[in-house]
């Protein structure tokens, strides 16, 4: 039996829940993982941390700092239970933000929203490469002093680690199918991407142009996360 990977999605219509995981889903399935996709905003309960080997937390049209959404605090408390059980978490965009919040950090509206493929400055290129990585967010995260920031750019924190856990602000999982799911699959009042003053046609073309390399980058980052978390052997250094 392969590793059990719980994947949390947020306010996504059922028919788009696999697509929204993007190129990360085939990366997990190629490794023989048993992937369970759960809509965090609908879940009455979560799997016991004892029944999963890793948790992947994906993006959302909602904000971690939106106190009107009761499911956000419920998910944050669950992630704390997962961390207490030493189960590794991989948080992506909203997922990275709620992971930072669960660790005692904060999430707030960004003064510099980002859209498109943007490079980052990294202190751990063995884990998070400089990119460019796909960005699409309106919030920014801060982490407490005991959490190591390993990538930044002018907009703020782009990646951090805490024990086996990794949070990233960008979207390594982006693919053309995933982008379609962003546009059509998110539900709720903040899901209309046409109101974001972003050239969605140009962005779709950019994603299609980079699709192959972006999928390879996603796969590579996921393998490095697994090694960082101790779920697979670390790669042998080239001498």
Query: Residue 207: pLDDT band by 50, 70, 90 thresholds?
Result: very high
pLDDT in tens, 126-143: 999 999 999 999 999 999
Residue from 75, 16, 84, 17 nearest 41 by CA: 75
Burial of 60: CB neighbours in 10 Å, binned 0-12, 13-18, 19+: buried
Q: Do 129 and 120 meet the contact criterion of CB atoms below 8 Å apart?
A: no
Q: Do 11 and 41 meet the contact criterion of CB atoms below 8 Å apart?
A: yes
Predicted pLDDT of residue 236:
55
Residue 234 above 50 pLDDT?
A: yes
Mean pLDDT of 74-80: 98
Predicted TM-score (pTM) of this structure = 0.95
Query: Residue 188: pLDDT band by 50, 70, 90 thresholds?
Result: confident
**Domains, in order of start, for the chain:** 4-228 (3.40.50.880)
Mean pLDDT of 147-160: 97
Residue 238 above 50 pLDDT?
A: no
Total length of the chain: 239
Residue 25 above 80 pLDDT?
A: yes
List residues with catalytic annotation.
93, 171, 173
């Amino acid at each position: 039996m392969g590793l059990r990977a719980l994947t949390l999605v947020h306010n996504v219509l059922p028919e788009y829940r696999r697509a929204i995981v993007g190129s990360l889903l085939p990366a997990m399935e190629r490794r023989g993982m048993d992937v369970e996709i759960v809509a965090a905003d609908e879940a009455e309960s979560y799997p016991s941390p004892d029944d999963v080997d890793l948790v992947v937390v994906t993006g959302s049209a909602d904000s971690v700092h939106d106190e009107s959404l009761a499911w956000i605090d419920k998910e944050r408390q669950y992630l704390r239970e997962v961390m207490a059980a030493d189960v590794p978490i991989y948080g992506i965009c909203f997922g990275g933000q709620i992971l930072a919040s669960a660790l005692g950090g904060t999430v707030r509206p960004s003064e510099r929203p980002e859209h498109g493929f943007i490079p980052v400055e990294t202190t751990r290129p063995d884990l998070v490469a400089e990119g460019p990585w796909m960005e699409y967010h309106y919030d920014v995260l801060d982490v407490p002093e005991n959490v190591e920031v390993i990538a930044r750019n002018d907009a703020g924190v782009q990646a951090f680690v805490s024990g086996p856990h990794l949070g990233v602000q960008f979207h390594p999982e982006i693919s053309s199918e995933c982008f379609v799911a962003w546009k059509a699959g998110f539900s709720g009042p903040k899901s209309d991407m046409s109101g974001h003053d972003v050239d969605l046609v140009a962005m779709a073309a950019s994603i299609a142009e980079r699709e192959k390399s972006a999928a390879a980058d996603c796969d590579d980052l996921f393998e490095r996360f697994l090694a960082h978390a101790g779920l697979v052997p670390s790669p042998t250094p080239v001498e």
